Structures are given as structure tokens and as C-alpha cells.
């Protein structure tokens, strides 16, 4: 009874913060600058993924709010908490800034102690996080060959003797690669199993790592919050097919992209779909978060499908603005990417 009472009081305290915009927009609960926690569509999904590692009444109330349809947003529920990482019973994700606008990620398996770096923009921030956490780096999972994603490979491998996994299509460009992978392959970080998705377009062999049981995808520079990667090597049809594969992931998948580009991407999104109310509200939340130095990553697939123009090829407003009413998705995506390149 006491636990329920505490939880009920915490939930009641949080209700004024939960904002319903038009009944369908996202809600943002910002408690600190550390990203993290809760992406869940129901209490059953929480249970199937090991539960969210929270012990306070406030955290219990957040989990409850996610599980009740009348309280859950149609786009996403995000909580920024005092915890420095996303956390479940089986894994923890540490997120930290690198270079000017990159994010570094460490994925840690609690059951085995295995830890993977998702890309390596630089060396020192990773070593500092590993020392802070008391973790040993066992893997590097590279998404593509660009220097701000693989530039720290050799330094980290020299310091930790870790195993490097990277895209098969770019194996000759991935420093220190041990295991090349591509679409349909699976990788393991301890007991955490990830599926490899080919998301070529930004670079020809770009891959993403999707951990289905965790509900987490690391997508590198293929998909951003309200944006997608510029096509340096790939083709429009290749990139469109890649984004279709990502869009097929469950709506509550947490999307970890590699850069803090959200505010700039959102300005372009508003220029091509100004009537999108979900987008308007999201930009207000993004502006508020960035003014406080808070990250806007991770996002969720549902939120991206509601606000990201590169996934909204069926939007009548976007099609009309491009003079492409009734056109297929590839044509709409291609025009959107061309406009973003010169925006």
C-alpha cells in the first residue's frame, strides 16, 4: 500500500507537466541535461525488455504514464533523468559529446561485462567514460568509414585490445576491422544480440545496428532527428530503400543517431511542411531543450514518422509543395533531399 501510495502521489505530481497538444503531440519531461530513459508503449513492452532501471516513485510514475493509453503520447514519451545513461535490467547505454556535434555511445551488457563503442569520433572521451563507469571495452561497432566515426578505432584498439566490427562494403576503409558485416548478419555484445541493417546512401556500405529485444537502434548518419544523412556516395533509390528499412522498425524503437543536428533539421522540415502541428510542437520542445544545453537524441521511430520530412513521402502537404501530388515515395524523397542540400 505504501509503495502504491508513493507512486500515485508521484504520478499526480507529474500530471501537470504532461502536456497534451491536440490530443496527439509528444510530451517532454526535462529534469536535467543527461539524456535518457524511457521509451515504452506499454507495461508489457517494459517487461519484455527487462524493465527500466528506475527505483524512485517519480520513475515508477513515468513508467505508469507510458503504459496508460490516455496518458501516452502518439509520438513519444521522453524523460531526462539524473541518471547518466539509458538503463535496463540487462544493459546500459552511456551517451556523451564528442568533437563539435557528435555523440559517443557505449553499450554495456550487465550480465557479462562486455562493452561496445558505437563508432569512435575520438579516443579520450571514450577512455574517460570507460574509466568512470569501470567498464572494459570489448567491441567497436562502426556504422561507416568517415573519420568522425572511425577515427578513434586504432587508438582505442591499442589501449583496450577490443574487437572491431564494421560494414563489409567499406571494410578496406575501416581502420583495424576484424569482422565485416552487412544486411542480415547478427552481432553479439556479451548477451546482447544485434541485427545488422544495410542503410547505404550517406556512404555506400553504411550499416545500422538494431537490438530488437532492447528496442534500440544505432543508425549513425543514415537517419537523424528530423533529417537524414547527405548522400556523399550513394544514390537516391539506395537511400530511399534504406530509410524504408528503418521506418519498418517498431514505433517505440529508440533511435540513436550520431549528431546533434535536430534544430537545423527542424527548420528545414518546417519549410516544407509548415502545417504539421506535431512538427510545430516538437520544434518548440527542441528549442527549449537546446537553450538548456540538453540533447535531443535519442528520438523514437514514431516521433520521426510524425515529424521527419524524409520519412513523410506520403504527406499531401509536402507533395503539393513540391508539385508532386500523387507521386511515388522515391520521387518525393529525392526532391526533399535535393532541397535540403541547398537549404
45 within some domain: no
318 within some domain: yes
Dist. CA 49–CA 81, nearest whole Å: 19
Dist. CA 257–CA 148, nearest whole Å: 13
Lowest-confidence segment of 40-49, 189-198, 222-231 by average pLDDT = 40-49
> Which is it for strands 227-228 and 223-224: parallel, antiparallel or unpaired?
antiparallel
User: Of the residues 108, 149, 163, 206, which is catalytic?
Assistant: 149
Residue 81: the pLDDT is 30
Residue 74: the pLDDT is 33
Dist. CA 266–CA 114, nearest whole Å: 36
**Any idea what the CATH number is for the domain that residue 288 is in?**
3.60.15.10
Q: Does the annotation mark 148 as catalytic?
A: yes
Mean pLDDT computed over every residue of the chain:
82
180 within some domain: yes
- Please count the residues of the chain: 343
Q: Does the annotation mark 149 as catalytic?
A: yes
Given a cut of 70, whether residue 33 has pLDDT beyond it is no
Residue 159 is placed in which grid cell? 589501449
The predicted model gives 59-85 an average pLDDT of 33
Burial of 104 (C-beta count, 10 Å sphere; 0-12/13-18/19+) = buried
Given a cut of 80, whether residue 71 has pLDDT beyond it is no
Residue 25: the pLDDT is 34
Residue 139: the pLDDT is 98
70 within some domain: no
Residue 85: the pLDDT is 61
Q: Is 102 in contact with 78 (CB distance < 8 Å)?
A: no
The predicted model gives 316-341 an average pLDDT of 97
Peptide bond into 252 cis (omega under 30): no
Residue 302: the pLDDT is 98
**DSSP letter string, 176-187:** T--EEE-TT-EE
Dist. CA 284–CA 276, nearest whole Å: 13
Q: Does the annotation mark 163 as catalytic?
A: no
Dist. CA 145–CA 207, nearest whole Å: 10
State which residues form the domain around 202. 91-341
Question: Which among 306, 251, 310, 316 has a CA at the least distance from the CA of 279?
Answer: 306
**Residue recorded with cell 527548420:** 267
Q: Does the annotation mark 144 as catalytic?
A: yes
Residue 191 is placed in which grid cell? 548477451
- Neighbour tally for 175: CB within 10 Å: 18
Residue 86: the pLDDT is 77
Q: Does the annotation mark 145 as catalytic?
A: no
User: Of the residues 146, 163, 206, 252, which is catalytic?
Assistant: 146
3-state helix, strand, coil in the chain (%, to 5): 35, 20, 40
Residue 14: the pLDDT is 44
Number of structural domains (the chain) is 1
**Residue recorded with cell 568512470:** 132
330 within some domain: yes
* Residue 154 pLDDT grade (very low, low, confident, very high; cuts 50, 70, 90): very high
Dist. CA 327–CA 339, nearest whole Å: 17
The predicted model gives 23-49 an average pLDDT of 33
Residue 272 is placed in which grid cell? 516544407
How do residues 78-131 score in pLDDT, each as one tens digit? Answer: 333 323 467 788 999 999 999 999 999 999 999 999 999 999 999 999 999 999
How many angstroms from the chain centroid is the CA of residue 151?
A: 21
* Residue 34 pLDDT grade (very low, low, confident, very high; cuts 50, 70, 90): very low
Per the DSSP assignment, residues forming a β-bridge with 281 are none
Question: Which among 199, 200, 203 has a CA at the least distance from the CA of 233?
Answer: 203
Strands (E), 41-124: 77-80, 85-87, 91-98, 102-109, 115-118
User: Of the residues 119, 163, 221, 252, which is catalytic?
Assistant: 221
Dist. CA 306–CA 201, nearest whole Å: 22
How do residues 240-271 score in pLDDT, each as one tens digit? Answer: 999 999 999 999 999 999 999 999 999 999 99
111 within some domain: yes
The predicted model gives 218-222 an average pLDDT of 98
**DSSP letter string, 34-62:** S------SSHHHHHHTT-B---SHHHHHH
The DSSP 8-state label assigned to residue 174 in this structure reads S
Residues sharing a CB contact under 8 Å with residue 67, sequence separation 6 or more, in sequence order? 40, 42, 43, 46
User: Of the residues 148, 163, 206, 252, which is catalytic?
Assistant: 148
User: Of the residues 144, 145, 163, 206, which is catalytic?
Assistant: 144
How do residues 264-309 score in pLDDT, each as one tens digit? Answer: 999 999 999 999 999 999 999 999 999 999 999 999 999 999 999 9
26 within some domain: no
Residue 178: the pLDDT is 98
Amino acid at each position: 500500500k505504501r509503495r502504491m501510495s508513493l507512486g500515485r502521489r508521484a504520478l499526480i505530481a507529474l500530471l501537470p507537466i504532461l502536456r497534451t497538444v491536440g490530443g496527439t503531440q509528444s510530451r517532454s519531461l526535462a529534469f536535467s541535461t543527461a539524456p535518457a530513459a524511457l521509451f515504452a508503449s506499454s507495461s508489457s513492452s517494459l517487461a519484455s525488455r527487462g524493465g527500466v532501471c528506475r527505483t524512485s516513485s517519480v520513475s515508477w510514475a513515468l513508467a505508469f504514464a507510458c503504459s496508460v493509453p490516455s496518458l501516452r503520447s502518439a509520438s513519444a514519451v521522453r524523460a531526462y533523468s539524473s541518471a547518466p545513461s539509458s538503463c535496463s535490467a540487462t544493459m546500459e547505454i552511456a551517451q556523451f559529446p564528442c568533437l563539435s556535434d557528435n555523440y559517443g555511445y557505449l553499450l554495456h551488457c550487465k550480465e557479462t561485462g562486455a562493452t561496445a563503442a558505437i563508432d569512435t569520433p575520438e579516443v579520450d572521451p571514450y577512455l574517460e567514460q570507460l574509466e568512470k563507469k569501470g567498464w572494459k571495452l570489448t567491441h567497436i561497432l562502426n556504422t561507416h568509414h568517415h573519420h568522425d566515426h572511425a577515427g578513434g578505432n586504432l587508438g582505442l584498439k591499442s589501449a583496450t585490445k577490443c574487437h572491431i566490427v564494421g560494414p563489409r562494403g567499406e571494410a578496406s576503409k575501416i581502420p583495424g576491422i576484424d569482422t565485416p558485416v552487412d544486411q542480415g548478419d547478427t552481432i553479439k555484445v556479451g548477451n546482447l544480440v544485434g541485427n545488422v541493417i544495410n542503410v547505404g546512401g550517406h556512404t555506400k556500405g553504411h550499416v545500422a545496428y538494431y537490438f530488437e529485444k532492447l528496442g534500440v537502434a544505432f543508425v549513425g548518419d543514415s537517419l537523424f532527428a528530423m533529417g537524414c544523412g547527405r548522400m556523399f556516395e550513394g544514390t537516391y533509390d539506395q537511400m530511399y530503400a534504406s530509410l524504408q528499412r528503418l521506418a519498418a522498425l517498431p514505433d517505440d524503437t529508440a533511435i540513436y543517431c550520431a549528431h546533434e543536428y535536430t534544430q537545423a533539421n527542424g527548420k528545414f522540415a518546417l519549410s516544407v511542411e509548415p502545417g504539421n502541428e506535431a512538427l510545430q510542437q516538437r520544434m518548440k520542445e527542441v528549442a527549449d531543450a537546446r537553450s538548456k544545453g540538453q540533447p535531443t537524441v535519442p528520438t523514437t521511430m514514431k516521433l520521426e514518422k510524425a515529424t521527419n520530412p524524409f520519412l513523410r513521402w506520403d504527406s499531401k502537404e509536402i507533395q503539393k509543395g513540391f508539385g508532386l501530388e500523387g507521386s511515388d515515395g522515391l520521387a518525393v524523397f529525392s526532391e526533399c533531399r535535393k532541397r535540403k542540400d541547398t537549404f
